[in-house]
């Protein structure tokens, strides 16, 4: 009897039922797409941000504790005032070596160009085709009136400007030459002053802010086995004992903020889409209940309890929500892939549990939307409704 009533009720007003299914499907599709992208977005956004700069700086221990007196920086002179270039491969032997996607050694020096003393960085760069080409930052190029093709004298040798660099960072105020060339010119073969490391990290939370020295063994293992920027820095220091690794906070903190804002936006869009679906179900159900008040009153008058009547209509709405949720979830997974390919140039794979979870949420949204109109109808006295006074 219950199944027959529900099946007969479903066949009534097919356009209205289709409107409910379509509304739930649309809301579910948008929510599935946003959640699918959000759950797969962390590493992709991280990789995009990593192209903008390193988030870890590794320096020799001898340069880690500068002392400034009277505006003059004093630093203890030690034999470990540099990092051996031969030791850099050890960075890729850490626990999170697969998360380290870039290692850039830097040697720093100063050279006189005319009446100016300019910083010179030695890097592993491919733009200079030979050892007598250089890259000039845009700010420095303006001061030197230099452009591509200009010749500069550095350390007594002639260099041709291969490119003028614009990054918005400190690179705009220096000259860059090949690392091996600067090592030769400064007689520092096999040495570097710093190593810039780009690593895929998890945004730091309250747990990551704790002092590892004060953690319990279980907490330390959890921290060590989580790709926080601080834990990766710690592991680099273990691999290179002569160094100090510090997060570039300006970069690391911004990563977390960007990811949080993107995830927050996607959650907001998902919530808005599901809320719209719920309002549509409420509107359709209010009209349906209004038209079927007499039918509800007759069931109540013949002895049907309110919970039985509510179960009949709830089953009908739940079925519509399940159908709409399934259609929306399947469409949403395809939409998520399209968003991933359009924005990140990579296919986004939604978790397998997202489809059944979306169907359950869609059913809950449909039932929630129908609850208020149905409750109001059940609250009316059957006799009043049948007399037509309600």
Those residues whose C-beta lies under 8 Å from the C-beta of residue 157, and which sit 6 or more positions away, are 132, 185
Which is higher by pLDDT, 161 or 301? Answer: 161
Q: Which of 59-73, 119-133, 151-165, 184-198 bottoms out in mean pLDDT, i.e. has the lowest?
A: 59-73
Predicted confidence (pLDDT) per residue in 206-230, tens digit: 888 888 889 999 999 999 999 888 9
Cα angle at 81 between 77 and 85, to 5 degrees?
A: 165
Rounded to whole angstroms, how far apart are CA atoms 159 and 136? 11
pLDDT at 348 over 50: yes
Greater model confidence, 45 or 296: 296
Rg of the chain on CA atoms, in Å = 33
Tell me if residue 376 falls in helix, strand or coil: helix
Tokens (6 digits) for 177 = 């030459």
In this predicted structure, what is the pLDDT of residue 336?
A: 85
The model's confidence at residue 77, banded by pLDDT at 50, 70 and 90, is very low
Long-range contacts of 61-66 (CB under 8 A, 24+ apart): 61/242, 61/243, 61/244, 63/193, 64/244
Residue 164: both structure tokens together: 């003028």
From residue 302, alpha-carbon distances to 179, 309, 377 in Å are 92, 12, 16
pTM for this one?
A: 0.60
Structure token pair of residue 130: 């030979």
CA distance linking residue 257 with residue 203, whole number of Å: 8
Q: Closest Cα to residue 31, out of 278, 341, 343?
A: 278
């Amino acid at each position: 009897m219950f199944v027959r009533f529900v099946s007969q009720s479903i066949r009534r007003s097919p356009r209205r039922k289709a409107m409910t299914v379509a509304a739930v499907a649309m809301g579910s599709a948008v929510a599935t797409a946003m959640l699918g992208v959000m759950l797969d977005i962390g590493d992709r956004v991280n990789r995009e941000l990593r192209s903008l700069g390193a988030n870890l700086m590794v320096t020799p221990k001898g340069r880690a504790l500068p002392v400034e007196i009277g505006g003059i920086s004093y630093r203890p002179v030690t034999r470990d005032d540099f990092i051996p270039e031969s030791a850099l491969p050890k960075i890729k032997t850490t626990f999170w070596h697969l998360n380290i996607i870039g290692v850039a050694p830097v040697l720093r020096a100063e050279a006189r160009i005319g009446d100016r003393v300019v910083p010179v960085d030695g890097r592993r760069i491919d733009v200079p085709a030979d050892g007598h080409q250089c890259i000039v930052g845009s700010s420095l190029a303006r001061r030197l009136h230099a452009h591509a093709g200009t010749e500069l004298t550095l350390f007594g040798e002639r260099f041709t400007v291969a490119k003028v660099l614009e990054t918005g960072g400190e690179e705009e105020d220096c000259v860059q030459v090949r690392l091996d060339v600067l090592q030769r010119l400064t007689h520092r073969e096999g040495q570097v002053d710093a190593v810039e490391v780009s690593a895929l990290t998890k945004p730091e939370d309250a747990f990551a802010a704790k002092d590892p020295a004060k953690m319990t063994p279980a907490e330390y293992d959890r921290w060590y086995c989580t790709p926080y920027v601080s834990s990766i820095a710690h592991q680099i220091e273990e691999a290179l004992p002569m160094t100090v690794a510090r997060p570039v906070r300006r970069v690391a903190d911004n990563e977390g903020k960007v990811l949080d804002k993107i995830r927050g936006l996607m959650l907001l869009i998902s919530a808005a889409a599901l809320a719209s679906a719920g309002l549509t179900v409420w509107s359709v159900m209010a009209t349906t209940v209004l038209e079927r008040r007499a039918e509800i009153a007759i069931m109540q008058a013949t002895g049907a309890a309110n919970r039985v009547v509510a179960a009949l209509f709830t089953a009908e709405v739940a079925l519509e929500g399940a159908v709409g949720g399934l259609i929306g979830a399947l469409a949403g997974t395809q939409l998520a892939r399209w968003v991933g390919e359009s924005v990140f140039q990579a296919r986004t794979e939604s978790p397998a549990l997202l489809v059944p979870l979306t169907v359950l949420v869609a059913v809950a949204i449909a039932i929630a939307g129908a609850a208020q109109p149905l409750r109001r109808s059940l609250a009316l006295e059957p006799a009043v409704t049948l007399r037509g006074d309600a």
